Homo-oligomer: A and B are copies of this chain.
């Protein structure tokens, strides 16, 4: 029998990152209004969230402006426009952006930290892109940024490749290595195995382990809790769970679980009501049946997203049959 009840205490070092706009933008090409983006920012400040990931540093050559909204590129002029009054120390909130290996002109796009509103760059990469990721992390670190390393879609990466990635990331200045369940496929025993693998490989480096879960099987919050129990101090969540496909760990559930009194739930509920729920008629997300199925089968949510945008979007049996034929 446990001698303590850790679920009613807290670790002060646990930090929450909001990635509503960054991850949510993958369903609407980042065509959010300024009002919504700023409301998420104000909510993060009021709720005690530690980081807000405001967008991607993706290349405008690959993601043309106009077709994609400002937060696909997260240029300084847009940061200045929306966050001219930002002060990380005063607000208790740091801003960050994600740079994808292979999709970012990072040497041109990322300016020194002292010329930016951003405090951190998260480098996202697939296993085969680890060398570029290391280069990006080193580059961003040399510009003064905090950095995090996000090995994506870990549920389809071979063990030996994960080990190789971990040993490469261990040598970088990245403060955090994130367990990223892009497909929403992982069960808790798998989270545990991955956590222990990451922790073993990074032992002695001082790096934290993060968790970024997707909600395909309604396990995003549960897997986030699991990582926290195991020792993770860096956790991702989004407002209303807004995010690609099934979405992410819902902030309103996470903050209801965290016992650090600095976190406040009420501002999040206000945001959901005023700004997030009204998006539903145009932006579809959440653990819908097609996402349940791709999650169960360890598949990219792409096919489910296409299906849900099509004319037969309510015919889940048809989607299931199609997926079984195709796999």
Query: Which residues of the partner chain B approach A296 to less than 8 Å between Cβ atoms?
Result: 256-257
Q: Is the CB of A252 within 8 A of B188?
A: no
Closest to A240 in B: B289
A197 contacts chain B at the CB level, 8 A cutoff: yes
A217 contacts chain B at the CB level, 8 A cutoff: yes
A196 contacts chain B at the CB level, 8 A cutoff: yes
Stretch at the interface among A38-46, A85-93, A100-108, A313-321: A313-321
Q: Is the CB of A189 within 8 A of B257?
A: no
Query: Which residues of the partner chain B approach A229 to less than 8 Å between Cβ atoms?
Result: 188-189
Binary contact track A286-327/B, C-beta < 8 Å → 1, others 0: 000100110010000000000000000011110011000000
Question: Given A193-B2, A289-B269, A187 and B225 touching (CB < 8 A)?
Answer: yes
A311 to chain B, nearest CB (A): 15
Question: Given A2-B189, A2-B193, A317-B270, A221 and B218 touching (CB < 8 A)?
Answer: yes
Most chain B beta-carbon neighbours within 10 Å: one of A269, A293, A316: A269
A241 to chain B, nearest CB (A): 9
Q: Is the CB of B219 within 8 A of A293?
A: no
Q: Is the CB of A1 within 8 A of B197?
A: yes
Interface residues in A3-18 by Cβ distance below 8 A to B read 6-7
A265 contacts chain B at the CB level, 8 A cutoff: yes
Q: Contacting A218 at CB < 8 Å: which of B187, B188, B253? A: B253
A226 contacts chain B at the CB level, 8 A cutoff: yes
A128 contacts chain B at the CB level, 8 A cutoff: no
Query: Which residues of the partner chain B approach A190 to less than 8 Å between Cβ atoms?
Result: 7
A250 contacts chain B at the CB level, 8 A cutoff: yes
Closest to A229 in B: B189
Copies of this chain in its oligomeric complex: 2
Q: Compute how far the CA of A257 lies from the CA of B186 in the bound complex, rounded to whole angstroms.
A: 11
Query: Which residues of the partner chain B approach A272 to less than 8 Å between Cβ atoms?
Result: 289, 316
Q: Is the CB of B317 within 8 A of A266?
A: yes
A205 contacts chain B at the CB level, 8 A cutoff: no
Q: Is the CB of A316 within 8 A of B188?
A: no
A151 to chain B, nearest CB (A): 18
A189 to chain B, nearest CB (A): 6
Query: Which residues of the partner chain B approach A270 to less than 8 Å between Cβ atoms?
Result: 317
Q: Contacting A256 at CB < 8 Å: which of B1, B217, B222, B225? A: B217
Closest to A320 in B: B269
A167 contacts chain B at the CB level, 8 A cutoff: no
Q: Is the CB of B1 within 8 A of A196?
A: yes
A131 contacts chain B at the CB level, 8 A cutoff: no
Query: Which residues of the partner chain B approach A197 to less than 8 Å between Cβ atoms?
Result: 1
Question: Given A196-B1, A252-B292, A188 and B222 touching (CB < 8 A)?
Answer: yes
Closest to A215 in B: B218
Listed from nearest, the 8 A-B pairs whose CB atoms lie closest are A222-B222, A256-B296, A218-B218, A269-B317, A7-B187, A269-B316, A218-B221, A270-B317
